[in-house]
Amino acid sequence: MGLFRLLFFGLLLYIGYRVLKAMMAPKPGTPTNPAAPRHDGEETVQDPICGVYLPREDAVIGTLEGKRHYFCSMACLEKFREQLDHTTHS
């Protein structure tokens, strides 16, 4: 009967070892956020004229009436200025 007890004890040790190992192991399913293709700190702005989103460093910045506006191109900036002139004149 001595051998049986030894086997039983060994099995208990083995199970304990497996449980401990499972608890120590790093969690396998931590999701790395896939919906973040942008670099850290990079800010996107929206062109108010054509509605396009672009990184702020690529944008054309127009300061109008003390407010900063970001555009995808000079053409959109000009359009915005025209609209502003139009609304202030009429």
76 binds Zn ion (CB under 5 A): yes
Residue 10 vs 55, nearer CB to Zn ion: 55
Supply the DSSP string of 27-49, one letter for each residue: PTT----TT--SPTT--EEE-TT
69 binds Zn ion (CB under 5 A): no
Q: 45, 47, 59, 69: which one contacts Zn ion (CB under 5 A)?
A: 47
61 binds Zn ion (CB under 5 A): no
Stretch that binds Zn ion, among 4-12, 17-25, 37-45, 76-84 (CB under 5 A): 76-84
Quickly count: other Cβ atoms within 10 Å of residue 71's Cβ: 23
Q: Closest Cα to residue 50, out of 68, 64, 71, 67?
A: 71
50 binds Zn ion (CB under 5 A): yes
72 binds Zn ion (CB under 5 A): yes
Going by DSSP bridges, is the β-strand pair 60-64/67-71 parallel, antiparallel, or unpaired? antiparallel
Query: At 5, which amino acid appears?
Result: R
Residues near Zn ion (CB under 5 A): 47, 49-50, 72, 76
